[in-house]
Structure 1
Amino acid sequence: MSLSPLSNSNTPPFNPDETLTLAQDLFSLVSDQVLSIILSNLTKPHQICTSLVCKRWLKINGGLVKTLRLLDWDFLESGRLGYRFPNLVDVDIVQACIISPRNSGICLSDKFVSIHVNSFVSDEGYFWKPEFLDARVVDRGVKILAQGCPDLRRVVLLGASEDGLVSIANECLALQELELCSCTDLDLKGLAGFRNLQILKLVGSFNGLYGSVVTDIGLTILAQGCPRLLKLELVGCEGSYDGIKAIGQCCQMLEELTFCDHNLEGGWLAALSYCVNLKTLKFQSCKYIDPSPGPDEHLGSCPALEELRLERCRLRDKLGLRALLFVCRSVKELVFEDCWGLDNNSFSAASICRRVVSLCLEGCSLLTMDGFEPVVLSWKELKRLKVVSCNNIKDNDMTPELATLFSLLKELKWRPDSKSILSSGLEGMEVWQKGGRSFKI
């Protein structure tokens, strides 16, 4: 018996090219539908790698992409966007609409976009402002987008006029969410063609980046064109009582309304009473609430309101804050986050909200126990309490009445400062059990 390795003179030598061809033939037996299911279970980085295998895999991977943020305008205008990604449902074209140098080392960022600039100051000494594509160019690109991606559910546009909005409305019948940046009053006429629009974010003038003006005229056009809105966010918009009243009267289904850095005229708060089905009201980065809200008997109320949130707002306007709380006196959940100017005097106005079930205070450094405790004890239905980073609320100022209230709460998070005896004593515990109740700390 020979101990030498087995050999067969009829076995052909190993050829890597033939092995690759065999693998390709095996995948050709797999349908596009099955291969799409296989590739969809890969992570995003792996999907990008597999798209380089061949043209077939590239096309299948493109069909798996649902969300896209466009950076290159030429890619849209060439028609390749719809061909490369035929099943898109969410597209953001804002970044591509801003003309900026690609090789600059300076990046200007805000909550909406990140822009490369050569300098923050121009040769004339003025601060740099972005340059946008012409409205006709944007409308042409939006039309190409609508024709190539008719299944869009959400789209973010910048500088689109009425014509651009009409093309989206005519082609993308399933569109439910729309975000418009840097548009004018008359541009909003195009909103009338959207049949199923439920969520709208309107960005007017904001932080010097967008300089367009939206007034009562635009708000009225919006209200009449979008009667089925469920959520509306107004960023940097102007207007007054008339514009908000039109929204309340026409958009009867509106459940959530957000104001961000608004420039509304005094007396607009009374118009909120026309939003009869409003459940959530938010204020974000607002410099004031209402400089002249008028007498209480003219303010009305929002009877269906469940949640009021104020985030990063300046609350030096005591009169406006009191009027807001009066309008929202039926609210059940009250949130103050990083609001400058919320002191004992202004917070005392919250006692008018008798139905509060949940309170969240975060980053309210001017509030002390003298202003906090009387209001909290007046709420007989309070079940959830969160106090975080309110450094002037001290444990040693706590009274037996407040301690008793804590024992009755269903949920409690108490970290007013890093020296809190209560929170440090419960450190490392997920819940605090006392009297059969559970508390989150």
Structure 2
Amino acid sequence: MSFREKMPTSPKSPLRKRRSSWTGSWLNHPTTSFKQVVSAVIQAQSPRSRSKSLSSDFDFTDIDRTLSLPDSLLLKILQKLPDSQKNDLSLVCKRWLKIQGRRLRSVKLFDWDFLLSGKLVSRFPKLTNVDLTSACLNPPRKNSGILLCHKSISFHISSDSSNWDFVEENLLNSEMVDRGLRVLGRGSCDLLKLVLINATELGLLCLAEDCSDLQELELHKCNDNLLRGIAAFENLRALRLVASVDGLYNSSVSDIGLTILAQGCKRLVKLELSGCEGSFDGVKAIGQCCEVLDELTICDHRMDNGWIPALSYFENLKTLRVSSCKKMDPSPGPDKLLGSCPALESLLLERCCLNDKDGMRALFKVCDGARKIHIQDCWGLDDDSFSLAKAFRRVRFLSLEGCSVLTTSGLESVILHWEELESMRVVSCKNIKDSEISPALSSLFSLLKELTWRPDTRSHLSSRLEGAGIGKRGSKFFKKR
């Protein structure tokens, strides 16, 4: 007898009765735990359960009851599972494989052919965050255990390789990258963030036609011509441009590219310029056109002298970060021509060389209204350089970390001029010592709301502050602003 002939067909058949009673019993017994429900679902999907049903003359108690659940409801159920079990869901059946693919929102691709074949967008149709940089690098012919990483780029290199132009020679050509962008655009209309390398203007324009909602873009090895394609992303809010990286690849973004960027991306909120060239004109164009820009990062710049005065054109800038720069601005011009950023709240200096007195004076003058100052792992910050920080008028929070040249007297000479200082953090500054704290500096410590004091391994002030209440009295002396 065939399977169809043994199946009950009447409305009162056991099969129809069990299907209706299964949902009813679930809803009518609120004490049934979710764990029991999921366990029953997984058990129903197991091969052992299926073989048992075939060998027991079609025992319908082991029927896959999840078939009656819509995908949306089943997806909500599976999301309640622990993270350790979610990766195994795709092994249950093809339906669960598809549902599991819809759950994934972020992916870092390592195989470019997986994108070109269309499997990436079909397997994961709801992607919003895609990183293509690793897939754009051809792997070495021989297996290598050496992994070279630089921020968002990572790749394997051969142990016997002496070629420092590895990235330049092993990048996918621009035509191949553009083909991948066209495939990605046709299948990822929900794309919000993209990271890629060695694309062209045409590739970005094709992607913008299908992914107009893209909000965050990170471009490596970019140049002036590539920036012409960015204007097509009307909803772009965050942009990171990486032009040149020492030892990896070389490219150029000049004032021409910065001007194109300024005119095409007027709704930018966050911008990072890494390894970019340019000068006063390019930075000024961004400040004038990108009126809602909230955060600006300058990293490893190769800009011409005189770019710092252009920062005064950023009327709504709140956070300025300068990172990994070997120089500031040797010739910023006379102080009387320097303006200021009226809305600036935070200035962050990270891993920079700060022995350029003229550049530091200009930077502090333009940022004189900042309320939070962070200086971390910067070399060349001696007492003379730090004395230029007296230009700040409204500092409430100061953080110093890894400033090994600065002394206690140099610190004191500046912070005693800041009438609004409320919090301070001093960590790993070995020339700042407890024994050199003056009565005036000790009195200031007692008025601070928060104080983190670990300048060196021999400092014992932090332990003594715990019982004295210093660092907690500031709320009595400062009014709410």
TM-score by length of 1: 0.91
Name 2:363's counterpart in structure 1: 324
Is residue 119–residue 128 contact of structure 1 (8 Å, CA) maintained in 2? no
Cα drift, residue 181 of structure 1: 0.7
Q: How many residues in Structure 1 have an aligned counterpart in Structure 2? A: 420
Q: Residues 436, 202 of structure 1: CA spacing in aligned structure 2 closer, same or farther, 3 A cutoff?
A: closer
Name 2:52's counterpart in structure 1: 18
Q: Residues 120, 299 of structure 1: CA spacing in aligned structure 2 closer, same or farther, 3 A cutoff?
A: farther
Is residue 348–residue 375 contact of structure 1 (8 Å, CA) maintained in 2? yes
User: How far apart in 2 are the matches of 1:30 and 1:155?
Assistant: 34
Aligned amino acid, residue 52 of structure 1: L
Return 355-364 or 33-42, whichever deviates more: 33-42
SS of the counterpart of 1:99? coil
SS of the counterpart of 1:150? coil
Aligned amino acid, residue 112 of structure 1: S
Name 2:207's counterpart in structure 1: 168
* Deviation readout 1:134-192 (Å, 9 max, x if unpaired): 10110110111111111011111111111111122111121111111111101110011
Name 1:423's counterpart in structure 2: 462
Is residue 107–residue 116 contact of structure 1 (8 Å, CA) maintained in 2? yes
Unaligned runs of at least 5 residues, structure 2: 1-47, 55-59, 477-481
Cα drift, residue 253 of structure 1: 0.9
Is residue 120–residue 128 contact of structure 1 (8 Å, CA) maintained in 2? no
% same residue: 54
Larger radius of gyration, structure 1 or 2? 2
Name 1:113's counterpart in structure 2: 153
Structure 1 residue 199 corresponds to structure 2 residue 238: yes
User: How far apart in 1 are the matches of 2:330 and 2:227?
Assistant: 28
Name 2:26's counterpart in structure 1: none
Is residue 295–residue 317 contact of structure 2 (8 Å, CA) maintained in 1? yes
SS of the counterpart of 2:272? strand
Name 2:381's counterpart in structure 1: 342
User: How far apart in 1 are the matches of 2:400 and 2:472?
Assistant: 23
CA-based RMSD of the aligned residues comes to 1.9
Q: Residues 203, 394 of structure 1: CA spacing in aligned structure 2 closer, same or farther, 3 A cutoff?
A: same
For residues 311-390 of structure 1, the aligned pairs below 5 Å read 311-390=350-429
User: How far apart in 2 are the matches of 1:265 and 1:188?
Assistant: 20
* Deviation readout 1:315-338 (Å, 9 max, x if unpaired): 121221111001111111111001
Q: Residues 52, 344 of structure 1: CA spacing in aligned structure 2 closer, same or farther, 3 A cutoff?
A: same
User: How far apart in 1 are the matches of 2:201 and 2:138?
Assistant: 22
Cα drift, residue 43 of structure 1: 3.9
* Deviation readout 1:256-306 (Å, 9 max, x if unpaired): 100111111100111111111111000111111112111111221111111
Q: Residues 288, 15 of structure 1: CA spacing in aligned structure 2 closer, same or farther, 3 A cutoff?
A: closer
User: How far apart in 2 are the matches of 1:45 and 1:120?
Assistant: 39
Q: Residues 195, 120 of structure 1: CA spacing in aligned structure 2 closer, same or farther, 3 A cutoff?
A: farther
Aligned amino acid, residue 353 of structure 1: F
Return 200-209 or 32-41, whichever deviates more: 32-41
Q: Which of 32, 47, 50 in structure 1 is aligned with 2:86?
A: 47
User: How far apart in 1 are the matches of 2:350 and 2:154?
Assistant: 23
Structure 1 residue 103 corresponds to structure 2 residue 143: yes
Structure with a larger share of its residues in helix? 2
Structure 1 residue 149 corresponds to structure 2 residue 188: yes
Structure 1 residue 66 corresponds to structure 2 residue 100: no
Is residue 198–residue 229 contact of structure 1 (8 Å, CA) maintained in 2? yes
Structure with a larger share of its residues in strand? 1
Name 1:75's counterpart in structure 2: 114
Is residue 369–residue 393 contact of structure 1 (8 Å, CA) maintained in 2? yes
User: How far apart in 2 are the matches of 1:327 and 1:223?
Assistant: 21
SS of the counterpart of 2:375? strand
Is residue 121–residue 128 contact of structure 1 (8 Å, CA) maintained in 2? no
Aligned amino acid, residue 334 of structure 2: P
* Deviation readout 1:91-133 (Å, 9 max, x if unpaired): 00000001122722222122122211124644xxx43421210
Q: Which of 117, 124, 127 in structure 1 is aligned with 2:164?
A: 127
Is residue 182–residue 203 contact of structure 2 (8 Å, CA) maintained in 1? yes
User: How far apart in 2 are the matches of 1:183 and 1:257?
Assistant: 18
Q: Residues 256, 185 of structure 1: CA spacing in aligned structure 2 closer, same or farther, 3 A cutoff?
A: same
User: How far apart in 1 are the matches of 2:123 and 2:146?
Assistant: 31
User: How far apart in 2 are the matches of 1:207 and 1:40?
Assistant: 44
Q: Which of 81, 88, 91 in structure 1 is aligned with 2:130?
A: 91
SS of the counterpart of 2:195? strand
User: How far apart in 1 are the matches of 2:124 and 2:82?
Assistant: 18
